[in-house]
Structure 1
Amino acid sequence: MLKILRIALAFIVVTIAVYSLVTGNHGLSPFMLFFLSLMMIVMGISEFKAKRQADALTCFTVSVFVLFVALYTF
Protein backbone atom coordinates (compact mmCIF):
# COMPACT_ATOMS: atom_id res chain seq x y z
CA MET A 1 0.00 0.00 0.00
CA LEU A 2 2.87 2.38 0.75
CA LYS A 3 4.29 1.79 -2.71
CA ILE A 4 0.99 2.73 -4.37
CA LEU A 5 0.69 5.83 -2.18
CA ARG A 6 4.27 6.84 -2.99
CA ILE A 7 3.65 6.44 -6.72
CA ALA A 8 0.40 8.43 -6.53
CA LEU A 9 2.08 11.27 -4.63
CA ALA A 10 5.00 11.28 -7.06
CA PHE A 11 2.54 11.51 -9.96
CA ILE A 12 0.81 14.49 -8.32
CA VAL A 13 4.15 16.24 -7.72
CA VAL A 14 5.35 15.67 -11.28
CA THR A 15 2.01 16.78 -12.73
CA ILE A 16 2.03 20.04 -10.78
CA ALA A 17 5.69 20.66 -11.65
CA VAL A 18 5.13 20.11 -15.38
CA TYR A 19 2.02 22.31 -15.31
CA SER A 20 3.99 25.09 -13.61
CA LEU A 21 6.82 24.85 -16.10
CA VAL A 22 4.58 24.79 -19.16
CA THR A 23 2.22 27.59 -18.15
CA GLY A 24 4.62 29.73 -16.15
CA ASN A 25 2.09 29.81 -13.32
CA HIS A 26 4.05 29.15 -10.13
CA GLY A 27 1.12 29.69 -7.79
CA LEU A 28 0.80 25.94 -7.23
CA SER A 29 4.36 25.53 -5.98
CA PRO A 30 3.38 25.39 -2.28
CA PHE A 31 0.98 22.55 -3.06
CA MET A 32 3.70 20.73 -4.96
CA LEU A 33 6.03 21.09 -1.98
CA PHE A 34 3.31 19.89 0.39
CA PHE A 35 2.74 16.73 -1.66
CA LEU A 36 6.50 16.26 -1.93
CA SER A 37 6.70 16.41 1.85
CA LEU A 38 3.95 13.80 2.14
CA MET A 39 5.83 11.60 -0.32
CA MET A 40 8.99 11.89 1.77
CA ILE A 41 7.04 10.89 4.89
CA VAL A 42 5.73 7.79 3.11
CA MET A 43 9.24 6.97 1.93
CA GLY A 44 10.53 7.39 5.49
CA ILE A 45 7.90 4.99 6.80
CA SER A 46 8.77 2.39 4.19
CA GLU A 47 12.49 2.78 4.96
CA PHE A 48 11.77 2.43 8.68
CA LYS A 49 9.82 -0.77 8.02
CA ALA A 50 12.78 -2.10 6.01
CA LYS A 51 15.03 -1.57 9.08
CA ARG A 52 17.04 1.22 7.47
CA GLN A 53 16.81 3.79 10.24
CA ALA A 54 19.47 6.14 8.85
CA ASP A 55 17.63 6.46 5.53
CA ALA A 56 14.30 6.85 7.34
CA LEU A 57 15.71 9.65 9.51
CA THR A 58 17.02 11.40 6.40
CA CYS A 59 13.60 11.16 4.72
CA PHE A 60 11.83 12.52 7.79
CA THR A 61 14.31 15.38 8.12
CA VAL A 62 13.93 16.35 4.47
CA SER A 63 10.16 16.10 4.85
CA VAL A 64 10.13 18.53 7.77
CA PHE A 65 12.33 20.99 5.87
CA VAL A 66 10.21 20.82 2.71
CA LEU A 67 7.02 21.21 4.76
CA PHE A 68 8.49 24.28 6.45
CA VAL A 69 9.34 25.79 3.05
CA ALA A 70 5.84 24.97 1.74
CA LEU A 71 4.16 26.64 4.70
CA TYR A 72 6.50 29.63 4.50
CA THR A 73 5.65 30.23 0.83
CA PHE A 74 1.87 30.22 1.32
Structure 2
Amino acid sequence: MLRYIRYVLSIIVVASAAYELLAKNFEFHHYIMFFLGLTMLVLGIEEYQRNKKGIGLLLVGVFLFLMVASVQGFLLH
Protein backbone atom coordinates (compact mmCIF):
# COMPACT_ATOMS: atom_id res chain seq x y z
CA MET A 1 0.00 0.00 0.00
CA LEU A 2 2.73 2.46 0.93
CA ARG A 3 4.58 1.57 -2.25
CA TYR A 4 1.68 2.75 -4.42
CA ILE A 5 1.28 5.95 -2.42
CA ARG A 6 5.01 6.58 -2.86
CA TYR A 7 4.72 6.07 -6.62
CA VAL A 8 1.75 8.42 -6.94
CA LEU A 9 3.40 11.13 -4.85
CA SER A 10 6.65 10.78 -6.79
CA ILE A 11 4.84 11.13 -10.10
CA ILE A 12 3.08 14.26 -8.82
CA VAL A 13 6.40 15.78 -7.72
CA VAL A 14 8.27 14.96 -10.93
CA ALA A 15 5.43 16.11 -13.19
CA SER A 16 5.00 19.37 -11.28
CA ALA A 17 8.73 20.08 -11.25
CA ALA A 18 8.99 19.36 -14.98
CA TYR A 19 6.09 21.72 -15.64
CA GLU A 20 7.75 24.45 -13.59
CA LEU A 21 11.04 24.07 -15.41
CA LEU A 22 9.54 23.95 -18.88
CA ALA A 23 6.99 26.74 -18.38
CA LYS A 24 9.28 28.85 -16.14
CA ASN A 25 6.26 29.37 -13.91
CA PHE A 26 7.34 28.99 -10.29
CA GLU A 27 4.07 29.67 -8.50
CA PHE A 28 3.53 25.97 -7.67
CA HIS A 29 6.85 25.61 -5.85
CA HIS A 30 5.19 25.37 -2.43
CA TYR A 31 2.94 22.56 -3.59
CA ILE A 32 5.95 20.65 -4.89
CA MET A 33 7.67 21.01 -1.52
CA PHE A 34 4.48 19.82 0.21
CA PHE A 35 4.18 16.69 -1.93
CA LEU A 36 7.93 16.04 -1.71
CA GLY A 37 7.58 16.18 2.08
CA LEU A 38 4.76 13.64 1.97
CA THR A 39 6.94 11.44 -0.22
CA MET A 40 9.75 11.66 2.34
CA LEU A 41 7.30 10.73 5.10
CA VAL A 42 6.17 7.61 3.22
CA LEU A 43 9.79 6.67 2.51
CA GLY A 44 10.65 7.18 6.18
CA ILE A 45 7.80 4.95 7.31
CA GLU A 46 8.85 2.25 4.84
CA GLU A 47 12.46 2.34 6.03
CA TYR A 48 11.40 2.31 9.67
CA GLN A 49 9.29 -0.78 9.01
CA ARG A 50 12.34 -2.46 7.39
CA ASN A 51 14.21 -1.95 10.70
CA LYS A 52 16.42 0.78 9.22
CA LYS A 53 15.47 3.15 12.00
CA GLY A 54 18.30 5.66 11.45
CA ILE A 55 17.44 6.34 7.82
CA GLY A 56 13.73 6.28 8.64
CA LEU A 57 14.11 8.93 11.32
CA LEU A 58 16.30 11.03 9.02
CA LEU A 59 13.61 10.93 6.32
CA VAL A 60 10.93 11.90 8.85
CA GLY A 61 13.17 14.81 9.87
CA VAL A 62 13.40 15.88 6.22
CA PHE A 63 9.60 15.62 6.06
CA LEU A 64 9.26 17.97 9.04
CA PHE A 65 11.69 20.47 7.50
CA LEU A 66 9.85 20.45 4.17
CA MET A 67 6.49 20.88 5.90
CA VAL A 68 7.75 23.90 7.84
CA ALA A 69 9.22 25.42 4.67
CA SER A 70 6.06 24.68 2.69
CA VAL A 71 3.69 26.15 5.29
CA GLN A 72 5.94 29.18 5.61
CA GLY A 73 5.78 29.61 1.85
CA PHE A 74 2.00 29.33 1.84
CA LEU A 75 1.66 31.94 4.58
CA LEU A 76 4.18 34.41 3.18
CA HIS A 77 3.22 34.08 -0.47
**Does the alignment reach a TM-score above 0.5?**
yes
| Residue aligning to 1:2 | 2
Deviations 1:13-36 (A, max 9, x none): 000000000111111010000000
| Residue aligning to 2:12 | 12
| Residue aligning to 1:61 | 61
In structure 2, distance between residues paired with 1:70 and 1:15: 18
Q: How many residues align?
A: 74
- Give the TM-score normalised by the residue count of structure 2: 0.93
Structure 1 residues not aligned, in runs of 5+: none
Root-mean-square deviation (CA), in Å?
0.6
Identity across the alignment (%): 32
- Give the TM-score normalised by the residue count of structure 1: 0.96
In structure 2, distance between residues paired with 1:36 and 1:6: 10
Structure 1's consecutive aligned runs of 4 or more residues displaced over 4 angstroms after TM superposition are none
In structure 2, distance between residues paired with 1:28 and 1:15: 11
| Residue aligning to 1:71 | 71
Structure 2 residues not aligned, in runs of 5+: none
